[in-house]
Amino acid sequence: MAQVISIDPVTRIEGHLRIDVEVSNGVVTDAWSSGTMFRGYEMLIQGKHPWDAQQVMERICGVCPLVHGTAASYSLDSAMGVKLPNNARLIRNLALGANFIQSHILHFYHLVALDYVDVTAVLKYTGADPALKLLQANIAVLAKNNDLYPFLPRYASPDYIGEPGGPGDANLATELVGHYVQAFEMRKKAQEMLTIYYGRMPSFVGTIPGGVTTPPTLSNIAAFRSRLHDLQAWIADVYVADVKAIATMPAYSAFIKAGDSGGNFIAYGGMDENQSGSEKYFPSGVIENYKLTPSAFNNQQIAESVKYSYYNDSTEGLKPAVGKTEPQVTKSGAYSFLKAPRYNGKPMEVGPLARQLVKKDPVFMALAAALGVLTPPVKFGIIPRIGARAVETLLVALEMDKWLDQLTLGIGSDIWDPKGKQIPNSSNGMGLVEGPRGALGHWITISGGKTGNYQAVVPTTWNASPRDKSGIRGPIETSLIGIPVPDVNNPINVVRCVRSFDPCLACAVHIIHPENNSVKEFRVV
Amino acid sequence: MVTRRQFLKHAGATAALLGLSEAMIPQLAKALEQLSTSGKPPIIWIQGQNCTGCSISFLNSNYPGVAEVVLDKLSVRYHPNVMGGTGQTAIQAINDTVAAAKAGKGIYVLVVEGPIPLSENGDYCSFGLSDTKKKNLDGTSVQVPGDKTVHEWMQELVPGAAAVIANGNCASFGGIPAANASVTGSTKVSDIVAQIDPKKPMVNVGGCPSHPDWFLGTALQALIALKVLPGGKPLDLNSNLMSKTFFGQLIHENCERRAAFDAGLFLEDWNDQNPDMKLCMFKQGCKGPVTYADCPTRRWNSAVNWCVGANGPCHGCASPEFYKDLSPLYQPLPNVNFAGISPSTDVLGWVAAGATAVGVGAHYLYKQLGSKPEEAEGGEK
């Protein structure tokens, strides 16, 4: 018998997310993704000084302020006709890279790992590592006090690493918990590295319209590089190794293909490799219907559907540059405050998996082949999504050395184009970047020297979008269909799948369910 | 067994690292000693119209690191970003903690990140499932539980809390979401708490985001002051309910670039800077002259840097006036008339900022004219 289960709150993500799934015979047959918070950031900077846009928009999300602030800088640059100095381009790349590192480490260890590892297995550790024995003693005190928060309570499942009868053993689980603790320090170090040029994290001042604020010096390059090298080693030896260990466990082999979002992927491209931005470290491209040869990305093909979103129907199908945010909380038939962006009419997955499939980095393609992902039927499930993120972290970290080498010191090493301060009376700008969670675009219109319209289309809006005007589900909704749920009281696999996308809701999903909206438009699927 | 001497040492280290007064060490030692027998103080950390920036900032805590805080210092019962539980298992952690407090078996401190929206019955922000409301899913005729608003959670959690801590500028003062209050009815936490129980101990931690030391230090001070732990003394709060330990001094008074301000050396062009000559950010809109926080001495991210250190202006994010009344962020403070700076006085009201800014101008003129100004009125709040 079909049964609908409601999961709220979905924790260990950013923001307020609710997932409802219909389960029949132990498998998900339908899914609804709903965020439960709305602020309307785009509305509150209208009429303000355009430079405010960057400081306000970076605060749209405390997990990804760096990418929002950077996208805002690029959109303001383009509105003001800025020619970005070489050093500014490189420092923005380095900041983006440092943010990839901190965000991806945070995601795997602090948001995802507790779905796979039994923390209480540490109590049964039999190894001799002094740090792990100390950790064991620490957890033992918590267990004695019956205070294993925040790790317990959690969903029960027979396949946690270290659980009796589960994969791996207590010693492996303890090592992973030890890495969970180390990861706090490592992601903190990546944040510190970023602040060398940007002042502080989260929320920073280091990028401005026209360039950046801190010139490269021998000492700040050295301070940056020394942290970068620590991180490179840890990512390779610990993060990538842990992901590979989990990815190849037979207990999780179903997750290699389960959790597929439908075969459409998009990357806007990011991290400019030359001054014009014509070459990028992450190329742009579009993959449709599993056809792994990407077609060219054309931003004019993006439009947002609002049929199932709490926005005025008059805003249906608008392109982001002329998009509108007009909340209508009593709209019948709507179930999400998230819009449904579509490219050429199709839902698109964005993020590390999309970027790696477009870029086809040999390191990732080798991992995908080893996992059997590319063997028909080609499906990209939970494990390849997590694997792409780990591989990408290492590749970006290694690339950053090159950008450090290219920085120019001394006279004539500009970091800022003063055109950034010359606010035109009217202009338009667009800033596209790749953030840890995927393709991000900011669009600004300047009128009367003030911010007019401002729209952000963000990664989680792509991934967690509701159904569109044709009734086609968003990527997360699609990915949930077919996910095994052997125990409806403990739907761990549903949240494993949702978390593999690294959803970040603050900037993306805005849904409300007003009480007076009891009469809804039903649709048969 | 840990000796009292070790406790004193540990407590002293923690207090010193957080920049707390040495005078607090005996209280802190007593508090930590108490924890070894009675367990860690429980925290329920909920999120309103937040961005999670203050949680991420908390993860950046340095000495004590966040792992030490979570394992040794606080019992984090509910925190949506770090907890193991999901859905009902997450809610269970709240329910068990509240039930224990009700039964007199312990206390909890409620931490709120983000303001609380009140428009449309509070439906602009919710988490967890409602016990009473129902809704339909589109495409089915199935009724599922409705959403429980964060305002409903406040009504449920505030009465039993030993204290409420509003963490970050928008929980404390409305911040950026309240700049759009006409749409969602964003309301600062202290107003909601006052409606529920005007006598509930309440403290604000400013900052967008809050500094991990500000949050942790204020939480420890609150636990001691509230006699949750013995040896308490009253919290020293300013008129905005913020700890004077962290929010007692003007950024401008302690800025490492104060000498450049006094000498009239202002950053005009980001290409002009000489790394050895740190220029004042006043002309780029620095709100340091009207913002009370210890950023210049505490610094951020393991003390690696801070906004002014990166040639950015202070945007006044710890100030109750942030963001709406400090915009435009990159324009110099108005009502300040001295050489080279003549911003239009009609930029904004600057109701709170104006008096202090006059003080800044007087100080500057004193340097220019070589005569002592009359005591700058309003120079100190």
Segment A44-69 mean pLDDT: 92
Q: Which residue of B has its CA nearest to A211?
A: B270
**Residues of B numbered 228-267 whose beta carbons fall under 8 angstroms of chain A's beta carbons: which are they?**
none
**Disruptive mutation site among B167, B214, B301 for chain A (greatest number of A CBs within 10 Å):** B301
- Position B343 scores a pLDDT of 41
**H/E element holding A429?**
strand A426-435
Q: How far apart are CA A344 and CA B153, in angstroms?
A: 42
Which domains can be identified in chain B, with CATH numbers? 4-244 (3.40.50.700), 249-381 (4.10.480.10)
Residues of A in contact with B347 (CB under 8 A): none
Q: Which stretches in chain B have pLDDT values below 50?
A: 1-4, 337-381
CA separation, residue A273 to residues A88, A485, B67 (Å): 12, 45, 38
User: How does DSSP classify residue A473?
Assistant: P
In terms of DSSP bridges, do strands A211-212 and A280-282 run parallel, antiparallel, or are they unpaired?
Answer: unpaired
Q: Which residue of B has its CA nearest to A325?
A: B183
CA distance A85 to chain B (A): 10
Q: Residue A415: pLDDT above 80? A: yes
- Asked if A52 and B81 come within 8 Å (Cβ–Cβ), the reply is no
Q: Residue A509: pLDDT above 50? A: no
Q: Omega before B230 cis (within 30°)? A: no
- Position B181 scores a pLDDT of 63
Report yes or no: A491 and A10 within 8 Å, Cβ to Cβ.
no
Segment A128-138 mean pLDDT: 95
| Helix, strand, or coil (residue B267) | coil
Q: How far apart are CA B367 and CA A87, in angstroms?
A: 37
Q: How far apart are CA A334 and CA A24, in angstroms?
A: 25
- Asked if A147 and B40 come within 8 Å (Cβ–Cβ), the reply is yes
Residues of A in contact with B128 (CB under 8 A): 8-9
What are the catalytic residues of B? 51, 54, 170, 208, 252, 255, 280, 286, 295, 307, 314, 317
Which of A418, A76, A192, A154 is closest to B306 using CA atoms?
A: A192
- Position B252 scores a pLDDT of 94
- Position A44 scores a pLDDT of 79
CA distance B4 to chain A (A): 19
- Position A507 scores a pLDDT of 64
Q: Which residue of B has its CA nearest to A412?
A: B271
Q: How far apart are CA A389 and CA A384, in angstroms?
A: 8
pLDDT band of residue A339 (cuts 50, 70, 90) is confident
Q: What is the separation of C-alpha B239 from the centre of its chain, rounded to a whole number of angstroms?
A: 15
- Position A373 scores a pLDDT of 95
Q: Residue A336: pLDDT above 60? A: yes
Segment A221-241 mean pLDDT: 98
CA distance B282 to chain A (A): 14
- Asked if A150 and B77 come within 8 Å (Cβ–Cβ), the reply is yes
- Position A338 scores a pLDDT of 84
Q: Residue A488: pLDDT above 90? A: yes
- Position B135 scores a pLDDT of 76
| ipTM of the complex as predicted | 0.93
Segment A441-459 mean pLDDT: 91
Residues of A in contact with B313 (CB under 8 A): 205
Residue A523: count other Cβ atoms within 10 Å of its Cβ: 13
Least confident of A11-20, A174-183, B155-164, B280-289: A11-20
Residues of A in contact with B53 (CB under 8 A): 59, 61-63, 65, 202-203
Q: State the first-to-last Cα distance of chain B, in angstroms, to the nearest integer.
A: 48
- Position B230 scores a pLDDT of 55
Tell me, yes or no, if B347 comes closer than 8 A to chain A by beta carbon.
no
Tell me, yes or no, if B2 comes closer than 8 A to chain A by beta carbon.
no
- Position B16 scores a pLDDT of 60
- Asked if A418 and B269 come within 8 Å (Cβ–Cβ), the reply is yes
- Position B368 scores a pLDDT of 38
Q: State the first-to-last Cα distance of chain A, in angstroms, to the nearest integer.
A: 17
Least confident of A155-169, A345-359, A506-520: A506-520
Tell me, yes or no, if B99 comes closer than 8 A to chain A by beta carbon.
no
Tell me, yes or no, if A7 comes closer than 8 A to chain B by beta carbon.
yes
Give me Rg for the CA atoms of chain A: 23
Tell me, yes or no, if A347 comes closer than 8 A to chain B by beta carbon.
no
Tell me, yes or no, if B274 comes closer than 8 A to chain A by beta carbon.
no
Q: Residue A405: pLDDT above 80? A: yes
- Position B356 scores a pLDDT of 44
Cα atoms in the Cβ-side hemisphere of radius 13 Å centred on A386:
35
Q: Which residue of A has its CA nearest to B140?
A: A522
B142: exposed, middle or buried (Cβ count in 10 Å: 0-12, 13-18, 19+): middle
A10, A203, A205 ranked by CB distance to B313: nearest: A205
Q: What is the separation of C-alpha B255 from the centre of its chain, rounded to a whole number of angstroms?
A: 20
- Asked if A61 and B52 come within 8 Å (Cβ–Cβ), the reply is yes
* Average confidence score pLDDT of chain A: 91
- Position B15 scores a pLDDT of 62
**Residues of A numbered 141-200 whose beta carbons fall under 8 angstroms of chain B's beta carbons: which are they?**
142, 145, 147, 149-155, 181, 184-185, 187-188, 191-192, 195-200
Q: Residue A301: pLDDT above 70? A: yes
Q: What is the dihedral of CA B215, B220, B226, B228, to 10 degrees?
A: 130
- Position B184 scores a pLDDT of 83
A48, A202, A518 ranked by CB distance to B327: nearest: A48
Tell me, yes or no, if B89 comes closer than 8 A to chain A by beta carbon.
yes
- Asked if A199 and B317 come within 8 Å (Cβ–Cβ), the reply is no
- Position B39 scores a pLDDT of 76
Which of B100, B348, B47 is closest to A49 using CA atoms?
A: B348
- Asked if B184 and A38 come within 8 Å (Cβ–Cβ), the reply is yes
pLDDT in tens, A491-505: 999 999 999 999 987
- Position A511 scores a pLDDT of 26
- Position B139 scores a pLDDT of 53
The CA angle B99-B102-B107, to the nearest 5 degrees, is 90
CA distance B134 to chain A (A): 8
Which domains can be identified in chain A, with CATH numbers? 3-500 (1.10.645.10)
- Position B28 scores a pLDDT of 64
Which of A333, A384, A285, A346 is closest to A475 using CA atoms?
A: A346
